[in-house]
Structure 1
């Protein structure tokens, strides 16, 4: 009798169903090749690898075993309609429990939502199940149904009876399941194994199962041929040669000291010592070509270690855009498709069902450039859709750009633990890079070494070698002291006061005749940014100018969709080159997204008071290349009125900033030292952050996967995707496929409470994945203020509602 794994797709009801034997065979073939590639980078012994391999083989073979139940087959064959009546995970878990293979059981239990369970929840659940039903299961058995397993969900005796009935059905039918399984797919390895003590190992192994499972299911749904797993095409030696050719052809001024320092730094990374340490830091300051230099070093390490891929992690999408452009120009070889070699992955886009899975991005390219949110939350993940791509990290060379801005301080300890595991056990190389480097890895207070007994994770301080050599550091420091001057505006500014100040003669008198006179103003909130841009544009009669090329005021924030931010950024870069603006002042009003990593250069800067590292990063956008005599960066604060809003998260960092102002203006300033100290001082003001750090480490040590995934949110907000393009919305609603790139390029991310307050409508067929439409309710200003343009046009919106951003 042929058993079925997947019913015919709704769009193709006449298609033959997906045979169970084919699904298991496909998943096994793909998953084993993928697993062997993964294990080739691990430091496990041959015996350990064999046990892991056997456990994963058994998990792949039995992950859907419960589908063999005759009641499930009636649904899958189309004889009856509805959901599968029998939990299809329970049978495989039962086999795992019977052979005492804890790893196998956890992989099977975790391959569907809610994903990897938590040891403490399972211990409580099994204890209650035994008490309520008279069962005698071990705490590690994982028996029962898929849902209602936590304290919050399993509340009544009826809940536990439902689990007991599922177990009873499995026990009564298990001999039949085994017979059908062996008849269609053959036998499986019977080996006992405990759950690995490293949660990262379990996550990586689940990634292999989930990806193989999804590949087979998608192949059937799309009526395509099952792919064969193949590692990325790396060609590291050729890419290194291409990079050197690219750098050699960059424009340079022999009289410019920064250009000479940039050349020396690249040569050092391209030809200097390859350090034995698998983790490095790079403290090079702005304008020294960190992207190309660090990439040269990582390409050399990748050649040495046969790395699986190179990953570039950045905190902001505009840095990703800039990095992707540079890499596609510099290391893509002739005949290659740039998008296939250097893949960009912006904001979160995992999706939960088959129809929306097409929009998910997997890290399969040789060079992947992605956000800190995506990368680090994947390391912490428990849900299968989040973990599906994790296997791609094994054996990678990882460049963490603007590392000071990637993570909240309370996440640094557990993240350091994971990154050390990746390097020590999974063959990775890592370089942290920042012009305002926070050396958290060597700070016992930030890492909480004194709390080791409570946190139970093996985390120790470590001094990392610096890719930026001492001699270049000394020479660069001399240039930095002349490049930009820091000044403080003592009293808070009203909206009118700020608009008047940034246009004043006192500010501009030395810069009207300087090279490319321009002013950068950075605000702490999207709302304040839009209010200032709108008010300045009105003061300068800028709304009368239709074309962006003619506007004196440009605006850049996440109120704009990526494709529109790209257009604004292109105009900014055009003005930075030779243009009609060479001698005419203009303004960029922006949020913090432009303060780090982006190659921008302004005469004058204003930064709303924030953290030390943010201020230092903005200083890298002022007189960036040292072509002017000197630039000026002003620190200022605002009066929260007329639509201006204070960011609640910056109150404490602003106080630390004030306390370190004298050191900031010292000629002996050490950027790394003051950045690390400011981070430590900010952290010391929040006991709850210290508690959160320790709790995360404790949950990880105890293998409580759900708790870690829930608590480890890089951006502490509940956000959803909002589409701003009418054509994209209409296509999605009628079921026309839309690429994930189009979704990303035509959307913004908004907090859920803002979506509720704005009464945005979920797009039909995607409400489960929380995708909403903006254009049905509000206007969208693609040339200037983005979604804020639509809100500012609503009379009295901010006066009576107080704004929402």
Structure 2
């Protein structure tokens, strides 16, 4: 009997048995590819486990029932005939190779909890002995696949080992499945990604930095940026590990961190650079800055800009064709420079889903820059710090051999007393203690509200903005942002903008370019935004208003005022106000606001925003708010210890209701470009096309999608296409605003 892994159809859509992929060929290819991915991580023992998982992952396809299912004449196959992950997992479990068993069982549907894995072995599909003789006769390598596998690490190192093994298997399996489909359907393959080549890319960055240094700039700003860059280049010569880069706004930390990353990667033979930012607005800006410094275009494969989009279809046990669509779309971060979000980076590290986990093996041996790291929710600090500690541990000690840089002006207390030894982080600060950057780069005068100051209405906020000539107002909710913008629009305020998550990334990028143009021309400019603008977005307003919130949010918002230091700090006002009509998101955000209010009440004034010690003290007080256990509120660490992959993934959520992306094809300014990409996706779907479409997507809340069914449809490549209105100023129209994801 001839055994097949995948069926095929010809260009006319008819079944083509002559193009079917042989099962033995698929297993050998996946084993070799998984092994190669594991070797690149340098994790001891991983390559042997990956090769074994690749050989055994589709063992169940040797059942006659599955072969009948693959045949085009087999109608309505029963579920047992379609199941095939159980047999290989059961074979690995029988040989006491638990990590291999988890990886194989999870390659459809996701890594299971231990109890789910054990329950799966009760299925008739788990009877590996029934197919063993036929399988070994077809592929003799199976007989020795599990012989002499090295031992797996213990505790959290075992959990991470299993996750990376799973990533190697899924990425290899999906890549081979995609390759077969491309060959049978005549699709062109995506080109191989370029290498990091840090020494070559550093030359571009070095020349770019020299050009920036030659521009007219305030002397104290120029001196501070030179200090930051020199410190980063010196620290780059050190071995991999955990670093902190504490630089106030305007200190040039983005490019200095890139310089560190490239020189450090060259010195220590690291594979890629991963920039992680809390919001897509920072991601978009950092990606542009990095491309310009590297001398590459937006379409160059050297820089991958990966937004926090919802996972593609195919993570569940669904039809094979649907899984192949997911294989084309899910990211594996094979680019040398990746710019992504907190949600994508951290939730991928804790995920159990194939689409999310596919990229994990490419994280090993990377320089990871965590921009604005203070934005992580305190309730997940303990598991996050524990995972970062594993990332920076040497591969020989169960880690991934990464270097992580905690980059912010407001360093959180990741060495807090409530953290255990395997969670507490001790970072080496890159900036010398005598640099005095916070003093030399003081930009603003923060005006705190007094205890008895009246609360401001949105109309009063808008009026104070107009009185300033140009102003930025940052508020706590999307509803508040719409209300203030409505007040500005009602008075026909020139140069008024509303930055919203209802706008796709390209739209926000273009609006921010208009804002910067008005500010450079000293023309009236009034922007109202949620906190998405406050961390790292490069705008420079003479006057800023910030609704009362957590201290770190106020400080980050203040960085958008007098950013370049061209005005005296005493004349650059940041007014913190209490609102009469506003609400607050809740949770730790409310706890941070309350802690700040306590400081104001105790001192009669707000804290100094240019004092790092004050910021550290605030975070230490904040982290004590919930008492023991509050820094791991969902209990993620215990779930990891208990081999509960699915439960840990469900517990670790930076955003409770993650976004579902829709392509805004109705945006008139780019209607033709979007339409062309959708046509391209339908004719020859490729990962590069999905990447290009990400610029034209808006994330909507999945919990709100049911009532919006009439406003979108499933388009080519299984992307969702928005059929409703798309406004040139606000993006998806006003009545839909409550479904946006921040």
Q: Shorter-chain-normalised TM-score: which range?
A: 0.7 to 0.9
Assess, with a 3 A threshold, how the Cα gap between structure 1 residues 209 and 803 changes in structure 2: closer, same or farther: closer
Q: Show the counterpart of 1:344.
A: 305
Alignment of 1:210-609 (within 5 A): 210-223=170-183, 233-250=195-212, 251-253=214-216, 256-271=219-234, 274-276=237-239, 278-332=241-295, 339-351=300-312, 352=314, 353-405=323-375, 407-424=376-393, 425-440=399-414, 442-445=415-418, 447=419, 449=420, 459-472=422-435, 474-480=436-442, 483-488=444-449, 490-504=453-467, 508=468, 517-539=469-491, 541-542=492-493, 551-577=494-520, 579=521, 582=522, 584-609=523-548
Question: SS at the partner of 1:355?
Answer: helix
Q: Give distance in 2, aligned partners of 1:428 and 1:194.
A: 23
Question: SS at the partner of 1:431?
Answer: strand
Question: SS at the partner of 1:477?
Answer: helix
Assess, with a 3 A threshold, how the Cα gap between structure 1 residues 186 and 732 changes in structure 2: closer, same or farther: farther
Gaps of 5+ in 2: 315-322, 394-398
Q: Do residues 175 (structure 1) and 133 (structure 2) align?
A: yes
8 Å CA contact 1:350–1:361 kept in 2: the answer is no
Assess, with a 3 A threshold, how the Cα gap between structure 1 residues 645 and 6 changes in structure 2: closer, same or farther: same
Assess, with a 3 A threshold, how the Cα gap between structure 1 residues 337 and 380 changes in structure 2: closer, same or farther: same
Q: Give distance in 2, aligned partners of 1:188 and 1:277.
A: 34
CA shift, 1:356, in A, is: 4.5
**Cα offsets for 1:138-184 (capped at 9, x unmatched):** xxxx613xxxxxxxxxxxxxxxxxx2x444x544443333333339x
Q: Show the counterpart of 1:512.
A: none
Q: Show the counterpart of 1:545.
A: none
8 Å CA contact 1:781–1:790 kept in 2: the answer is no
Alignment of 1:40-55 (within 5 A): 42=43, 44=44, 49=45, 52-55=46-49
Q: Give distance in 2, aligned partners of 1:667 and 1:708.
A: 37
TM-score by length of 2: 0.87
Assess, with a 3 A threshold, how the Cα gap between structure 1 residues 745 and 225 changes in structure 2: closer, same or farther: closer
Assess, with a 3 A threshold, how the Cα gap between structure 1 residues 620 and 670 changes in structure 2: closer, same or farther: closer
Q: Give distance in 2, aligned partners of 1:182 and 1:639.
A: 75
Question: SS at the partner of 1:24?
Answer: helix
Q: Show the counterpart of 1:75.
A: 69
Gaps of 5+ in 1: 126-141, 145-162, 450-457, 509-516, 543-550, 793-797
8 Å CA contact 1:720–1:751 kept in 2: the answer is yes
CA shift, 1:647, in A, is: 2.9
CA shift, 1:645, in A, is: 4.8
**Cα offsets for 1:259-302 (capped at 9, x unmatched):** 22112221232246734461100111111110111222222221
Q: Give distance in 1, aligned partners of 2:198 and 2:692.
A: 30
Q: Give distance in 2, aligned partners of 1:201 and 1:332.
A: 37
Q: Give distance in 2, aligned partners of 1:603 and 1:664.
A: 26
**Cα offsets for 1:603-652 (capped at 9, x unmatched):** 11111111100000011111112211221111122233xxx654334433
**Cα offsets for 1:550-603 (capped at 9, x unmatched):** x420111212111111110111122233x3xx2x43211111111011121111
Assess, with a 3 A threshold, how the Cα gap between structure 1 residues 272 and 241 changes in structure 2: closer, same or farther: same
Q: Show the counterpart of 1:780.
A: 726
Q: Give distance in 2, aligned partners of 1:201 and 1:221.
A: 30
Q: Do residues 717 (structure 1) and 686 (structure 2) align?
A: no
Question: SS at the partner of 2:714?
Answer: coil
Assess, with a 3 A threshold, how the Cα gap between structure 1 residues 255 and 758 changes in structure 2: closer, same or farther: closer
8 Å CA contact 1:484–1:619 kept in 2: the answer is no
TM-score by length of 1: 0.80
Q: Show the counterpart of 1:22.
A: 25
Q: Give distance in 2, aligned partners of 1:30 and 1:665.
A: 61
CA shift, 1:397, in A, is: 0.8
Question: SS at the partner of 2:527?
Answer: strand
CA shift, 1:444, in A, is: 1.4
Assess, with a 3 A threshold, how the Cα gap between structure 1 residues 227 and 81 changes in structure 2: closer, same or farther: same
Q: Show the counterpart of 1:159.
A: none
Q: Give distance in 2, aligned partners of 1:625 and 1:665.
A: 27
Q: Show the counterpart of 1:190.
A: 147
Question: SS at the partner of 1:364?
Answer: coil
Assess, with a 3 A threshold, how the Cα gap between structure 1 residues 74 and 694 changes in structure 2: closer, same or farther: closer
Q: Give distance in 1, aligned partners of 2:611 and 2:706.
A: 42
Q: Show the counterpart of 2:700.
A: 750
Q: Give distance in 2, aligned partners of 1:254 and 1:700.
A: 50
Assess, with a 3 A threshold, how the Cα gap between structure 1 residues 527 and 688 changes in structure 2: closer, same or farther: farther
Q: Do residues 119 (structure 1) and 114 (structure 2) align?
A: yes
**Cα offsets for 1:451-483 (capped at 9, x unmatched):** xxxxxxx515343221122222x2541441x63
Q: Give distance in 1, aligned partners of 2:99 and 2:21.
A: 28
The size of the alignment, in residue pairs, is 701
Q: Give distance in 2, aligned partners of 1:229 and 1:524.
A: 43
Q: Show the counterpart of 1:681.
A: 621
8 Å CA contact 1:521–1:605 kept in 2: the answer is yes
